[in-house]
Amino acid sequence: MVFSSNLFVFLFLPLFLAGYYLTPARWRNVTILLGSYVFYAWWRPDFLLLFVAITLWNYGFALAVHRYRGQRRGLYWLAVGVAGDLAALGYFKYANFGVEAISELLVAVGLNPFYLETIILPLGISFYTFQAMAYLVDVYRGDARPTRSFINFAAFIAFFPQLIAGPILRYRNLEKQFEHRTHSMELFSLGASRFLLGFIKKVLIADSIAPVAGYLMATPEPGFIDGVFAVVISTLQLYFDFSGYSDMAIGLGMMMGFRFPENFNQPFVCQSVTEFWQRWHITLSQWLRDYLYRPLKKTLHWPVAAATFTTLSLAGLWHGADLAFLLWGAAIGAMMVVERRLGWVTGMSTPYSVWKNYRALAYLWFIWPLFLTGNMADAWRIMAGLLGMNGWGSLHNLSLWVSPMTLCFCALAFFWDRVSAFYNKRFYLGLDKGNVFQAVSGWRVPLLWAGFVLAVTRLSAESFSPFLYFQF
């Protein structure tokens, strides 16, 4: 089950919200847990057992870590707990990749390869294992106290709004909200509006431009123009798809009284690669900073450059088990090191410069095929086009079969991305200190509902609209 489906919007969500608000306040976390398990089991009931096992594993180890915190035994329990999480993630996500690499080496030296039955990747395992590991580390550091309520912890791990593709949450930030939270029509209305916005971004924009992105990315020998349009349109598709999911997740949380951290902040207005990483998939970059980069730099005393490059390389590998993802992360890390040396690093408050913006985007767009394709052969095919190795190219064939409406959505996506740099950020950041309806009042309300109706109409025609991060 995915958010962008009629089943979820018109059946699961209304039934869940009705059950949630009819449940007495003290039992609402139980409703969240049961509803989340139903949501997860809808795809593969058997993987629910793995999900529950990881929840029990981390709940128990957190209590042990806290009991012996400050002692050598506490570090031992932490290491075993994290190792168990990494083992589960490594097996399901990287076993096939490792076996293929070893088999290629065996063939290269004249030996017979061996094979492993294809392993299905459980939904959301990359996200909920990171949340579980962060919980263990926070308990060890003293940044969080282990909860005695298994229901609260299980509901946190299974919380369906962010289960499949984030934002990556931390228990220490939501602990008080699981114990007590305030519900109001204002917060519910803002959450509903945020959900509608994400639904529109995903179904009406991302899915509408997907055929153009797919056609351009599949061009056998793309020229320069083909390559540029392929990367730009595919990048916009991914952004509206992924940020749309995050908007829906944040909105669903608000509808239940929760406030989640933001996951995107206008990433393509960045003026350096470093700033891009601060704006794109924010909860992942912050997780890597706190649980990988800082331990490498402060505990192991690695140089800043080495810690940065290693962290971003592993971030790339986290996105997928392929050399292309590893090189994408390494390229991000290498440029961040270069920017630091040259003084090119910019931040959120840096005055906007068109030159700096497009300088950063040129580099990001050139390496983006590594991420978009997920394999070296296809990535190099697109990158060769960007280098002009196949001539200038032409979009003539595309114009012959793509409808004017689809091209309009491509233009809308680009316009939305460019104009967002100068738009009121409170629209994206949700609650502010002023009027809670400021982001969704006036002309925006009928516009949101009109967009939602159009998105539902499109979804009904397509029948299924998976997220690009659906099985990740």
Residue 90 has pLDDT above 50, yes or no: yes
**Please, which contacts does 66-69 make with residues 24 or more away whose CB atoms are closer than 8 Å?**
66/139, 66/145, 66/146, 69/139, 69/140, 69/142
Q: From 117, 152, 180, give the residue that closes a domain.
A: 180
Domain that holds residue 80: 27-180
Residue 361 in any domain: the answer is yes
User: Residue 441 pLDDT > 70, yes or no?
Assistant: no
Shortest CA distance to 417 belongs to which of 216, 215, 238, 228?
Answer: 238
- Same domain? For 267 and 156 the reply is no
The stretch 421-434 carries a mean pLDDT of 43
The per-residue pLDDT for 33 is 95
Same domain assignment for residues 244 and 121: no
Query: Helices (H), strands (E): how many in the chain?
Result: 23, 0
Which of 272, 281, 277, 275 minimizes the C-alpha distance to 362? 272
In a domain, 5, yes or no: no
Structural domain includes residue 217: yes
**One domain, residues 143 and 222:** no
**Residue 31 belongs to a domain:** yes
pLDDT at 434: 39
- Calculate the CA 137 to chain-centre distance: 22
Specify the pTM. Answer: 0.88
Q: 346: which 2 tokens?
A: 């910019």
Neighbours of 41 (CB within 10 A): 15
37, part of any domain: yes
Give pLDDT tens digits for 242-272. Answer: 988 998 999 999 999 999 988 988 888 889 9
Q: How far apart are the first and last CA of the chain?
A: 15
CA distances from 386 to 226, 230, 360, 371, 407 (A): 8, 10, 16, 15, 22
Helix (H, G, I), strand (E, B) or coil at 126: helix
Report if residue 379 sits inside a domain: yes
pLDDT tens digit sequence for 32-76: 999 999 998 888 888 888 889 999 999 999 999 999 888 889 899
More confident site: 2 or 57: 57
Question: Up-side HSE of residue 165: CA atoms within 13 Å toward CB?
Answer: 23
Given a cut of 90, whether residue 219 has pLDDT beyond it is: no
Asked if residue 340 belongs to a domain, the reply is no
> Token pair 């949630």 is at which residue?
20
Whether residue 96 is predicted with pLDDT greater than 80 in this model: the reply is no
Secondary structure of 45-103 as H, E, C letters? CCHHHHHHHHHHHHHHHHHHHHHCCCCHHHHHHHHHHHHHHHHHHHHHHHHHHHHHHHH
In a shared domain, residues 130 and 252: no
pLDDT of residue 470: 53
Q: Of 180, 214, 231, which residue is a domain's last?
A: 180
Q: Tell me whether residue 66 is one of the annotated catalytic residues.
A: no
Question: How confident is the model at residue 45, as a pLDDT?
Answer: 85
State the average pLDDT over residues 429-457.
62
Query: Is the same domain home to 78 and 176?
Result: yes
Domain assignment of residue 3, yes or no: no
Q: Say what angle helices 28-41 and 13-22 make with each other, to 10 degrees.
A: 160
Nearest alpha-carbon partner for 57 in 89, 9, 28: 89
Tell me what pLDDT residue 22 has. Answer: 95
**Angle 354-373/323-342 helices, nearest 10 degrees?**
160
Task: Identify the pLDDT of residue 321.
Answer: 81
User: What is the total count of domains within the chain?
Assistant: 2
On whether the CB atoms of residues 331 and 370 are closer than 8 A, the answer is yes
Out of 161, 180, 199, a domain closes at 180
Name the catalytic one among 183, 281, 319, 396.
319
Residues 227 and 375 in one domain: yes
433 pLDDT tier (thresholds 50, 70, 90):
very low
